[in-house]
Amino acid sequence: CKGFNGYDKVLLRNPRGSSAEVYLYGGHVTSWKNERREELLFLSSKATLKPPKAIRGGIPICFPQFGSHGTIDQHGFARNRFWIIDNDPHPFPTNTSNKAFVDLIFKPSEADMKIWPHNFEFRLRVALGPGGELMLTSRIRNTNPEGKPFSFTFAYHTYFSVSDISEVRVEGLETLDYLDNLQKKELFTEQGDALTFESEVDKIYLSTPTKIAILDHEKKRTFELRKDGLPDAVVWNPWEKKAKAMADFGDDEYKHMLCVEAAAVEMPITLKPGEEWKGRLELSTVPSSYCSGQ
Ligand code: BG6
């Protein structure tokens, strides 16, 4: 169906009432709701949902470059291109009887290949499980002729909706090494406690466990993030000053969002022609008391 701006989006619903929305612009999940129809992702009230900017909120896909450390624009171009529905999603399995899902594909145009001179097929499946869990699976194949490998970095730049950033804790990243984008990407080591937030944060945690939890005490909700093929995790909140500097982000919205991004940043992924990489993210929620042991 059409989004309010006239652009195509796909709605996924499961019988218990959970839902997700995927814009073809960016192959971008803009909404994920639980059975009570509560929105679980943050989408800025100032997001434009149309070219040329990437959509501010939801789950932008950063490819073929994460961040600004490379030769192309910040976070690559997959997030601001139109994807199409993939009617031949091979090699995705077809046994998906208990899931609502959509398959999208993005192939570079000639203009894209002037920015990044490689041929690829990027297949994305977005699926909603029977318990309302949201699953994103990316398969990227090198379709370059003549033995030309390529390397890329990647992130599912997920914006979670939280009641109050000062009340949120992230578990699973304790004691890990991280690169701090606010301090010239220097290497630090996290303390033993769960992460809490009282100022701007922009960190790339390296080689993390596959499961990370975001505890929102006020909402009594815990997000669980499971990832596969994506060793790193980026944690970002722009806080007050940067929020004010972003045209597509409300001044106070930083209080109600937190990005925890399943990513492959430190070690770029290299594919030879014909090779394929797979990166998977699964998001679910559980009542807080279950996960925090309170
Ligand atoms: C995060 C980066 O992933 O994305 C930050 O670590 C960046 O450095 C943020 O500011 C937002 O990026 P953009 O391009 O969507 O404004």
294: confidence class by pLDDT, cuts 50, 70, 90? very low
Average confidence (pLDDT) over 13-24: 96
pLDDT at 203: 97
Active-site annotation holder among 133, 171, 224, 261: 261
CA 58 to centroid of ligand 1, rounded, Å: 13
Closest atom of ligand 1 to CA, residue 79: 15
| Helix ranges, 58-164 (H) | 110-115
Q: For residue 71, what is the domain's CATH number?
A: 2.70.98.10
247: confidence class by pLDDT, cuts 50, 70, 90? very high
Answer whether 136's CB lies under 8 Å from 126's CB.
yes
Helix (H) or strand (E) holding 128: strand 120-128
* Domain limits for position 233: 9-292
Question: pLDDT tens, 265-282?
Answer: 999 999 999 999 999 999
Question: pLDDT tens, 182-207?
Answer: 998 789 999 989 999 999 999 999 99
pLDDT at 292: 44
Question: pLDDT tens, 216-225?
Answer: 999 999 999 9
Q: Is residue 43 part of a domain?
A: yes
Cβ burial of 259 (10 Å; 0-12, 13-18, 19+) is buried
CA 273 to centroid of ligand 1, rounded, Å: 30
- Ligand 1 pocket check: which of 156, 201, 202 to mutate, most ligand atoms within 8 Å of Cβ? 202
Q: Is residue 124 part of a domain?
A: yes
The protein residue with its alpha carbon nearest to ligand 1, atom 14, reads 74
- Ligand 1 pocket check: which of 236, 261, 265, 266 to mutate, most ligand atoms within 8 Å of Cβ? 236
Rounded-to-integer distance, Cα 155 and Cα 268, Å: 11
Q: Which residues have CB under 8 Å from 282's CB, separation 6+?
A: 133, 134, 135, 136, 225, 226, 227
Q: Is residue 31 part of a domain?
A: yes
pLDDT at 291: 47
Q: Is residue 278 part of a domain?
A: yes
Give percent above pLDDT 90 in the chain: 87
Q: Is residue 2 part of a domain?
A: no
94: confidence class by pLDDT, cuts 50, 70, 90? low
Q: Is residue 61 part of a domain?
A: yes
Q: Is residue 3 part of a domain?
A: no
Pocket of ligand 1 (CB under 6 A): 54, 67, 74-75, 157, 181, 202, 234, 236, 261
Rounded-to-integer distance, Cα 225 and Cα 260, Å: 9
Rounded-to-integer distance, Cα 236 and Cα 200, Å: 8
Number of structural domains (the chain) is: 1
212: confidence class by pLDDT, cuts 50, 70, 90? very high
pLDDT surpasses 50 at 290: no
pLDDT at 6: 65
Q: What average pLDDT is seen over the chain?
A: 93
Closest atom of ligand 1 to CA, residue 60: 15
Question: pLDDT tens, 30-50?
Answer: 999 999 999 999 999 999 999
Active-site annotation holder among 75, 118, 157, 282: 157
Active site residue 157: yes
Active site residue 75: no
Identify the three-state secondary structure at position 153: strand
pLDDT at 5: 62
Q: Is residue 240 part of a domain?
A: yes
Closest atom of ligand 1 to CA, residue 75: 14
